[in-house]
Amino acid sequence: MRDIAFVFFLAAVLCVTGGMALGIWMGIAQNFTYAPVHAHLNLVGWATMALFAIYYRLTPAAALGWLPRVHALLAIPGVVLMTGGLAAEFSGRPEFLPVAILGSLMTAASMLVFLFTVIRHGFGAAPALSRDERFDAALTPAE
């Protein structure tokens, strides 16, 4: 199985592809009914999932264990349910409002899991050395 960073990044790319396709369709049809769906796919789907992926790649310790999988199992279906429920509701199907609400709650819960993860692990990658620090390190003899 791919690592959690890949899973989140793949989800992000799928969301932005869907969001872009929806945006192009809206522009061609001059029908902007689904603008909130487009916005949620691009912001929550693309931007947030990509940031999750970057964090997990930069903080390998945070990507281990069961918690990142719970995070993904809340975040990815949450975005799908939220945007799908919104799209159905905007299509005149108000009975799908509970689907959008469930997806929104799952998405919010995933963010709480991520908040806990960030507090627990911080940023695990060592910060990059500045140019001056690299120069000084190169001039310092090894012991």
Tell me how far apart the alpha carbons of residues 12 and 49 are, in angstroms, rounded to a whole number.
5
Residue that wins the pLDDT comparison between 122 and 81 = 81
How high is the pLDDT of residue 135?
Answer: 55
Q: In the chain, what are the domain boundaries? A: 4-123
Compute the residue count for the chain: 143
Output DSSP code: residue 33. T
Over 90: is that where the pLDDT of 139 sits? no
- The tokens describing 63, both together, are 């990507």
Given this model, what pLDDT does residue 132 score?
Answer: 61
pLDDT at 1 over 70: no
DSSP assignment of 25-75: HHHHHT--TTHHHHHHIIIIIIIIHHHHHHHHHH-GGGGSSSHHHHHHHHH
pLDDT for 141 beyond 80: no
- 67-74: average pLDDT: 97
